[in-house]
Chain A
Amino acid sequence: MQAEPFAAPVFQTSSLTLSLEGGSYELLLHAPPCNEIGTTMLDALEGALDRIDTSVGHSLIIRSGLEAGFCAGANLRELYTAIAAGKDATHHERLAAWLDRIHAVMDRIDMLPLTTVGVVHRVCFGGGFELALTCDILIAEKNARFAFPELRLGIIPGFGGIPRLRRDVGNAVVRDLLITGRTFNANKAQEVGLVSQVVPEGEGVRAAKALTAQQSKYDRDARVSCKAFMKPLPIEELAAEKAIFLRLFHNDAVTEGLRRFVESTDVRPYLPS
């Protein structure tokens, strides 16, 4: 795991750094404890996307500079704080607007006319997994683990993860991940077709750079057309997932699930219980 960006920053916040080297952008996430996606990360992702010049770059590598992993998912503390403050008349609208912003960011990354490569190590859970699934190609370091633990909180993934996972792998695999909440290791993720390369710990960046350098030799129109053809946005399913997420989020079980997680001092919060 390489903690530093590989070139001078084009854009930088406390959550991430965007850099550009030889036509390849790098989006380095570095918001402790594990790049949780809340308002701050969302602002940063929007800012970074605004600064990507697709006429200059040919690719984007998304990775984490934190030892803890790629991304642990949504910022549950922020969600719990918002929900615990009480549900007034505008609660649903505010939640829906927040979710729309996240979907817009995920959709923008998904459809970038660049080759996007996610480099994953250790934790790739929930919203972090959903972010990884926006990438065209995933490279997993040997210690990567993928999971959708949302059902433990009484919800489903809500950042577009289910349609994107279904776009890439078989429905039985999707159900296994969702219904059990278990983690897949890197080899299992490759076996089911989610990950294209498994590399030793610390080798992900090198592998991603080699990949982006290779694809940069090909005609831009061919690359972009190929991606658009093979990776359509599952618009209807994304909307359906969002609706289910919003409905479930109003259940009391969610408040209780979030409270348990936020207040937990257990050393095993990331293992099923």
Chain B
Amino acid sequence: MDYAEHYQTVSTDLPGHSLSWLQALRTRANIDFSTSGFPSPREEEWRYTNITPIEKKRFTPKVSAGDPSAAAELIQHHRLDDTWSLVFVDGVYSAGHSRLTGLPESIQILPISEALERYPEKVHTMLQQAADCETHGFIAFNTAYFRDGAFIVIPDKQVPERPIQLLHVSTQAEGLSVLRHLISLGIHAQATVIETYVGEKETACLTAAVTEIDLAANAHLDHYKLQNESDRTFHFGGIYSDQKASARFRQNHAAFGGLMARTEIHSHLGQAAECDLDGLFLASGRRHLDTHTILRHHGAHAVSRESYRGIASERGRGVFSGRIVVDPQAQKTDAEMNNRNLLLSDDAEIDSKPQLEIHADDVKCAHGVTVGQLSAESIFYLQSRGIDEASARNMLTFAFANEMVEKIRHDGHRQQVRDALLANLPQTDVRGDWL
């Protein structure tokens, strides 16, 4: 595999090179990656997503650390005013664009490159806790080559007064961004983290981000992700969370961009933990958007609610794979998953694969999938109000997606997701200024 060699060669000057434990971890991950390579469609979990086009490319990390002015506009537009933000341009932390003013000393929000110098032991305990290199090649690749990322530690009972935004901007053609985010919430701590991924138009690059989340007992994390990268970008984003007893994890994911993009959201639920996963993907043009979720009910009395909506238009392709695993001791599990999809053209395709694996006997688990068209009744209702059929269809398509957008509690992020939705709906005449 030539490409494995290529990534080894170009990945120089990675942070933490003086830390022997990290060197050992990276070396092992490098061996794992060299052996397995990027995931192949022969692997069951990657059956519907063939990423071999990535193998032919040779993405290269950005060499200079200067902030190109090209990124400034994107950052200006996407950085949320009411947050503490860490901004990454082509995978490199930009202190100049980040906003951390007023951050109390008790809360740690900093780039992982800096955390490796200041808190190496803490990074050591957090890294590889929720993500496992053996799962597939992308995680090994990320562990071997991550250049930066966020390090967020909220101690027991702390509630930061602002949400935290991780803003990723891709500007460089054939660029490579490999990011590792670590988020840890102490007992009864609460936080909101928003991951935003955007790119310059026409930029073809690879973003590979892994987020590991550790939620102590009774912690509560609201986590949002917007993937709206450029048309030619490859994106892999893995979010792996470990919920201790009664911890609450609410995740909302919206995917619109990229050429080929996959988001994995896996959570491990301890006793009486609660997990809500909501998501929306809109695969337009020739995009391939894959969402892969696994909720593992490990402790008893945990509750999970998962609701995903997918739309595919033109020659777009969507994949939803949702698995719920209930371990033998996880009695009184209460899990519901549903996935509703809308196909807007004959050439569009959505593959939906819900799976329940139940090893306990006293549980409540339900799942449902629909792939449908717009309701004729609703179209007529709108027509009877003077709205022509094409506009009625546009409005109903928007409504179908917007229901997921409305679940977003953060105003600024909700607005960005809605803007991205409107921008990506083909031929829509839904008026953003009337909403």
**A interacts with B:** no
Residues of A within 8 A of B (CB): none
Interface residues of chain B, those whose CB is within 8 Å of chain A, are: none
